[in-house]
Amino acid sequence: MVAEVVTGAALASWAYLVLAHGRFWLPPRLPPARVPPTPWPSVVAVVPARDEAEVLPETLPSLVGQGYPGPFQVVLVDDDSTDGTGDCAAQLGARVIRSPGPPRGWSGKVAAMAAGVEAAGAPDFVLFTDADIAWPPGAVTELVTAAAGHGLDLVSRMVRLRAEATWERLLVPAFVYFFAQLYPFSRVNRPGRTAAAAGGCMLVRGAALSSAGGLHEIRSARIDDVALARLLKPHGRVWLGLADDVVSVRPYPRLADLWQMVSRSAYTQLRHCPALLVATVLGLLLVYVVPPAGTVAGLVVGDAWMAGLGLAAWTIMAASYVPLLRFHRIGPWWAPVLPAVAVLYLVMTVDSARRHHAGRGGLWKGRVG
């Protein structure tokens, strides 16, 4: 009886998630704006980069060569690199600002972003992006047109992450899926408390950033994109969606690579709160593990009702995952393994808490923060 009730609760959870949780399973694309701005506003792209010399030749030319019809420049902030990142960027046409690393109380990436904003002067828009992002021609023009045409102060597009190796195909679409479940994009895009952004592509109106107090207000943030969206939303309009053609070229071929990416910030997302960690673990078990467990257990013990409840929940779960699999160009037959992927993410989150309490939380490229 208890097992049937728990399995029924899992099914009810999925009914709510699919029907009433902001259509998280179907994130939007960039809204078109047919009338271009006149005149074209100025844009400065700020690229914080730490030890990125290997990837820059593949990505930076696509940003420098955008062909934006208004004033446009690329400022790369060399964040205390040791591999010649700054020299490489200069050779590829970017303006380079060299940073010795973050001041006390600042996270590394936000400090680099702030250095880029200071060097940019006072452009109409600042485009924050990462060194591993490749841009198709006209992408910046499209972003600015949408921002100007719809009166948006932050336009963020979650870039398509690489999903070619086996571990990438297993874990990368789920990363986007869980993010969208935590921050339903449709709720981000309307007035309210939900605010989020994706750090690989964030076009910010300069006046809105200034009126919100600037990046100094989020100086210690390790999850800089969500912090920036939360900073800006009370002062203007925020939009978040998917980008089919703006892509990350950074490979994550090994489980260890993806594990590091997730575990360095997962516990930060939970505000380093043990109670939230326990609640998250229990919630993930109920929503993702109970459906297949109930299905199998019901079949084993001959409880058709429990098996049916579990299978219904599992089916809804898998069906909701298919759109993001297709976004990453992966077949729908991967959808039924989402419970196993959720367990992996659960373990990564627990490991993130362990690293934090061991003094190694947020470790990235040899630096904490």
Contact 127, 186 (CB under 8 A): no
Look-up: residue for tokens 């490979």? Answer: 251
pLDDT score for 193? 92
pTM of the model: 0.94
DSSP 64-90: HT---SS-EEEEEEEES-SSSHHHHHH
Domains parsed from the chain with CATH numbers:
2-23+266-368 (no CATH), 43-253 (3.90.550.10)
Q: How far is CA 202 from CA 43, 64, 127, in A?
A: 12, 16, 6
| Per-residue pLDDT tens digits for 102-129 | 999 999 999 999 999 999 999 999 999 9
pLDDT score for 368? 60
What's CA 334's distance to the chain center, in Å? Answer: 21
Residue ranges for the chain with pLDDT beneath 50? none
Q: Which residues contact 40 (CB under 8 A, 6 or more apart)?
A: 68, 69, 70, 71, 144
Q: What is the Cα–Cα distance from 8 to 165, expressed in whole angstroms?
A: 36
pLDDT score for 94? 97
DSSP 238-274: EEEEEEEEEEE-----SHHHHHHHHHTTHHHHTTT-H
What's CA 79's distance to the chain center, in Å? Answer: 21
Q: What is the Cα–Cα distance from 311 to 309, expressed in whole angstroms?
A: 6
Q: What is the Cα–Cα distance from 47 to 50, expressed in whole angstroms?
A: 10
Name the burial class of residue 327, with classes exposed (0-12), middle (13-18) and buried (19+) by CB atoms within 10 angstroms of its CB: buried
Sign of the Cα torsion 244, 250, 253, 259 reads negative
Q: Which helix (H) or strand (E) element contains residue 231?
A: helix 224-232
Contact 308, 286 (CB under 8 A): no
